[in-house]
């Protein structure tokens, strides 16, 4: 039996010595990407929404001439004004002109008088504490 164990151990050492992990490691190459460039295409669009139930009232229009984008949008603000933004985006960056139509209207503030509720004051019973009772320690006599 001892010879068999020694023989198996010898084969295991020989097999481990011949095993090369690098040969079996998965090979991975990073994918190669080609940069895709598209020719700028002119376009234009526009839409508007007027929904009285949700108080949404806005419109947006935009067009491109292949060199830049111009457009505008308008939004009805909750304070009664209309915000109008006209913009241009091109190789020099984004430029916006913001204007407001109308005058902001806010509801008049009317202070209300605060009245505390008529609840009875809570009645707490003070806790009863008993004085601690210590007994003198009993020491053994030698």
Residue 134 belongs to a domain: no
Confidence (pLDDT) at 20 = 65
Chain segment 76-88, per-residue pLDDT in tens: 888 889 999 999 9
Rg (CA), the chain: 42
Residue 29 belongs to a domain: no
Domain that holds residue 78: 41-103
Q: Are 84 and 107 in contact (CB under 8 A)?
A: no
Residue 126 belongs to a domain: no
- For 11, phi then psi, to 5°, come to -65, -40
Confidence (pLDDT) at 98 = 96
User: Which residues of the chain are modeled with pLDDT < 70?
Assistant: 1-2, 10, 13-24
Confidence (pLDDT) at 70 = 95
Confidence (pLDDT) at 69 = 93
Residue 3 belongs to a domain: no
Q: CB-based burial of residue 89 (10 Å sphere; 0-12 exposed, 13-18 middle, 19+ buried)?
A: middle
Confidence (pLDDT) at 62 = 95
Confidence (pLDDT) at 60 = 93
Residue 36 belongs to a domain: no
Say how many domains are in the chain: 1
Identify the helix (H) or strand (E) that includes residue 50. Answer: strand 43-51
CA-based torsion, 69, 71, 77, 80: positive or negative: positive
Residue 111 belongs to a domain: no
Beta bridge partners of 85: 73, 98
Confidence (pLDDT) at 22 = 64
Distance from C-alpha of 101 to C-alpha of 84, rounded to nearest angstrom: 8
Residue 114 belongs to a domain: no
Angstrom CA distances, 76 to 42, 54, 104, stand at 29, 12, 11
CB atoms < 10 A from the CB of 77, how many?
A: 13
């Amino acid at each position: 039996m001892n010879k068999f164990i020694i023989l198996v151990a010898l084969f295991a050492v020989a097999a481990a010595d011949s095993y090369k992990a690098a040969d079996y490691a998965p090979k991975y190459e990073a994918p190669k990407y080609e940069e895709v460039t598209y020719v700028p295409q002119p376009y234009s669009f526009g839409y508007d929404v007027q929904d009285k139930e949700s108080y949404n009232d806005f419109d947006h229009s935009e067009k491109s001439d292949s060199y830049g984008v111009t457009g505008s949008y308008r939004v009805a603000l909750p304070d009664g004004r209309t915000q109008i933004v006209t913009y241009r985006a091109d190789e020099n960056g984004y430029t916006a002109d913001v204007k407001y139509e109308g005058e902001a209207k806010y509801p008049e503030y009317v202070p209300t008088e605060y009245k505390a509720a008529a609840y009875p004051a809570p009645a707490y019973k003070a806790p009863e504490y008993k004085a601690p009772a210590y007994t003198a320690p009993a020491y053994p006599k030698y």
